[in-house]
């Protein structure tokens, strides 16, 4: 949750935004995979909800492809699609499991789905330091991830985005609140603000 909140700091809830791991099939400008999670701002929800019953905007048939159907609604309502990669082009939201993304590497059939380039030349090139979510995380793996994130401690590890923001602040910026400093760090880490569908 912390990395999600960090990423979202640089966005405005009053902008109609659609955020997630973007697939490129089914909708001309892609849609967000439901498996790794979809984030909608308040403005996006306010645009979507009144239109869910409108067959000319949102598909009315029920299927297993609810993420694709949401993507169709979003595109028809001109809601902005956000690129969730970091400033180095590394992914933060992952539509397959941690083993696939980090250990095995994705197969070509997986890569064909991804809207943005995916680097797996080296084991960890795919993944941003501020990862947010994975699909296919069940039971024991969830407990293992929780332990490694919240209970195992490494001595001397610091967050480079935070250190860079603090060390590069000018005199006037040094009076910023911690929240404003975090917002600045978030903007520095995000790949780009957003892209229109």
Question: What is the per-residue pLDDT for 191?
Answer: 66
Q: Using one digit for the tens of pLDDT, what is the confidence trace for 94-118?
A: 999 998 888 888 899 999 999 999 9
Q: Using one digit for the tens of pLDDT, what is the confidence trace for 51-71?
A: 999 999 998 887 888 999 999
Q: Using one digit for the tens of pLDDT, what is the confidence trace for 13-24?
A: 999 999 999 999
Domain assignment of residue 196, yes or no: no
Domain assignment of residue 148, yes or no: yes
Predicted TM-score (pTM) of this structure: 0.80
List the domain range (segments joined by +) for residue 149.
2-189
Domain assignment of residue 194, yes or no: no
Domain assignment of residue 115, yes or no: yes
Domain assignment of residue 48, yes or no: yes
Taking residues 14-43, report their average pLDDT: 95
Domain assignment of residue 195, yes or no: no
Q: For the chain, give the secondary structure using H, E and C.
A: CHHHHHHHCCCCCCCCEEEECEECCCCCCCEECCCCCEEECHHHHHHHHHHCCCCCCCCCCCCCCHHHHHHHHHHHCCCEEEECCECCCCECEECCCHHHHHHHCCCHHHHCCECCCCCCCCCCCCECCCCCEECCCCHHHHHHHHHHHHCCCCCCCCCHHHHHHHHCCCCCHHHCCHHHHHHHHHHHHECCCCECC
Q: Using one digit for the tens of pLDDT, what is the confidence trace for 161-196?
A: 666 666 665 555 667 777 777 777 777 777 655 554
Domain total of the chain: 1
Domain assignment of residue 59, yes or no: yes
Domain assignment of residue 107, yes or no: yes
């Amino acid at each position: 949750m912390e990395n999600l909140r960090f990423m979202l700091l640089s966005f405005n809830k009053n902008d109609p935004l659609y955020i997630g791991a973007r697939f490129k099939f089914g909708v001309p400008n892609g849609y967000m995979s439901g498996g790794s999670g979809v984030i909608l701002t308040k403005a996006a929800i306010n645009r979507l909800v009144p239109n869910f019953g409108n067959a000319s905007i949102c598909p009315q048939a029920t299927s297993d492809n609810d993420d694709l159907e949401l993507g169709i609604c979003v595109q028809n309502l001109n809601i902005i699609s956000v690129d969730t990669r970091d400033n180095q082009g590394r992914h933060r939201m992952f539509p397959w499991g941690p083993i696939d993304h980090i250990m095995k590497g994705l197969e070509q059939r997986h890569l064909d789905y991804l809207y943005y380039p995916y680097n797996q030349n080296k084991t960890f090139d795919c993944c941003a330091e501020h990862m947010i979510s994975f699909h296919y995380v069940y039971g024991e793996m969830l407990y293992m991830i929780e332990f490694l994130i919240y209970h195992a401690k490494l001595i001397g590890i610091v967050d480079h985005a935070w250190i860079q923001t603090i060390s590069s602040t000018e005199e006037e910026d040094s009076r910023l609140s911690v929240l404003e400093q975090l917002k600045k760090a978030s903007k520095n880490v995000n790949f780009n603000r957003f892209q229109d569908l």
